Chain A
Amino acid sequence: MISRPESQHRWAGESGHLLSAHAQSAAEHSFLRRPAITLLSPDTPIAATPVQPRTRGTVTLSAKRLGPRSVIDGLRQSGSYKALFPRTGDMLQSILINTSGGVTGGDRLALEAGVGVGAALSLTTQAAERAYRSLDGSPGQVCSRITVGDEALLHWLPQELILYEGCALRRTLEIDLTLSSRLLMVEPVIFGRVAMGEVVTSGAFHDDITVRRAGRQLYRDATRLSGDITARLARPAVASGAKAMASLLFVDPRAEALLPRIRDMMPETGGASLLAADVLTLRLLAEDSHALRQHLLPVLDLLSDDTLPVSWRL
């Protein structure tokens, strides 16, 4: 008899039962405790239970076209969210860094970005982002909003998000395109590192992606995994035991022409489809992060015209 998955997705902080006392004390002694580089904000609640420092960080960034190149138009950063700009080609490359070393309960990271008319911006991360155990079960929040102007190009290419035991993460990504914008977006997620024997038997992961074009919804994707995520992923129509997943969206006039080549790069557990003549979507499952990259890198090389950020190669 198969039990029905939880229909209600509550944060542990709301239900109060997800984290046992044993699990909490184990976490105190675990290497997963975050490093000391964190910011205490005035709204950090005072709690009798172990206090987890709350990270705050905001990056506001815009790119503009200057001659053949794309350059920084505006940049503001605060807290533990930073942007670096390695010198590269005509496309403006930006590497986002969460200096707190991961996301835990109560953290807030926010990105606001704009790509001006005719400009090209590539956003990635320095390394994999880590969603660590939330000691009180409250969610960490990562919100990204990007607007892409006419004839402008956005590459949204973060490296993997790794979910750890006890994680609580609520993530939103909103991208606004115009009729002449182009987009390459990927979101890779690792549900516990297989090589380290990690599983996620308790956790909560809410992920929402919205892409609009000229104000109309073009692509929506929402994932809700909570409780025993590893067991849920073992279900046959969910992931059949895969521990790594990537979702990709490509909005470009070449989408239809490139679809057959993309399909040929997919393993048994990957698929690609055209939602419109210039809108290609792809979903890929793999046993671990290594296998995921093996299938994903050639796809990203092709769709990014070989401009994949260097940090992806390290």
Chain B
Amino acid sequence: MVMDGPILMPIDPRLLTLTQWLSPAYPTGAFVWSHGLEQAVAERWVRDGNSLYDWLFDVLCDGSGRGEAIWIARAFEAEGDEALCAIDAEARAFAPSRERLREAERQGAAFARVTREVWELDLPDLLMPVALGRAAKLVDLPLDTTITLYLQSFCCNLVSAAQRLMPLGQTEAQAVLARLSPICGQTAEEARGGALWSNAFLSDIAAMKHETLEPRLFQS
């Protein structure tokens, strides 16, 4: 059989839903949170493309990026509302600081508000990764893809924040993001059934210290 031109693979419409949710244009207000990165830049712990990559690598492999991947997986797999609420409560107890908790709370509430309205989902206000995991389950999204794309959008947001906080060219910023992409995939693969822990102590300390940073652009 002879075919003319390239074969167009149909795109799974669910993937379009996911990329819409994780787009910077989705009104979760992600751009106002730096996850403590603003403090790390102020301390000069992060000062260029390489140190930004190293910092975000640790956050993904040892810290809150890994933690959020697991919350998404647990919420996705939760059976019933009671289990979901228990996961949300546990995620809150794991929050290392007030601003981190607020960051996950505000984004999660904004995400849930828009998503339940547009997709008519039974989605209560939950912390961001818990809300995303539940929503992904409700519209039958693949879990690994959901987590990988979430982590990439998380990194994308923090790389954009770094561009506003320190001299970092557009090309170098995109190079950092490209280097982080495979780490997002690996962290996502290990999230299902993963144990909860965090070793990114200095990242958490940065988030605590940010509460008194003056002047500041970001809310975390």
A residues sitting closer than 8 Å to B (CB atoms) are 2, 4-5, 7, 9, 210, 216-225, 232, 235-240, 242, 245, 263, 266, 268-275, 281-285
Contacting residue for B58 out of A236, A268, A269, CB 8 A: A236
Is B89 in contact with chain A by the CB < 8 A criterion?
yes
Known pairs A7-B190, A236-B45; A270 contacts B200 (CB<8 A)? no
Contact indicator B183/A238 (Cβ below 8 Å): no
Is B128 in contact with chain A by the CB < 8 A criterion?
no
Best-surrounded residue of B45, B98, B211 (most CB of chain A within 10 A): B98
Interface contacts beyond A2-B57, A269-B205: sample of 5 additional A-B pairs, CB < 8 Å, sorted by A: A224-B195, A245-B201, A271-B208, A271-B209, A272-B208
Question: For chain B residues 85-100, which have a beta carbon within 8 Å of chain A?
Answer: 89-90, 92-99
- Chain A, residue nearest B209 (CB): A271
Which secondary structure dominates chain B's binding surface? Answer: helix
Contact indicator A237/B63 (Cβ below 8 Å): yes
Question: For chain B residues 52-93, which have a beta carbon within 8 Å of chain A?
Answer: 54-55, 57-59, 61-63, 89-90, 92-93
Is B197 in contact with chain A by the CB < 8 A criterion?
yes
B residues sitting closer than 8 Å to A (CB atoms) are 40, 43, 45-46, 51, 54-55, 57-59, 61-63, 89-90, 92-99, 101, 183, 186, 190, 195-209, 211-212
What would 25 A/B residue contacts be, using CB atoms closer than 8 Å? A2-B57, A7-B186, A217-B89, A218-B93, A219-B93, A222-B197, A223-B199, A225-B199, A235-B58, A235-B62, A236-B51, A236-B55, A237-B55, A238-B62, A238-B199, A238-B200, A238-B202, A238-B203, A269-B205, A271-B206, A272-B208, A273-B97, A281-B208, A283-B205, A284-B205
Contact indicator B200/A281 (Cβ below 8 Å): no
Bound Cα distance A24, B97 (Å): 42
Contact indicator A239/B202 (Cβ below 8 Å): yes
Contacts of A271 in B (CB 8 A): 97, 204-209
Contacts of B183 in A (CB 8 A): 4
Bound Cα distance A2, B180 (Å): 12
Contacts of B209 in A (CB 8 A): 266, 271
- Chain A, residue nearest B206 (CB): A271
Contact indicator B90/A237 (Cβ below 8 Å): no
Contacts of A217 in B (CB 8 A): 89-90, 92-93
Contact indicator A268/B43 (Cβ below 8 Å): yes
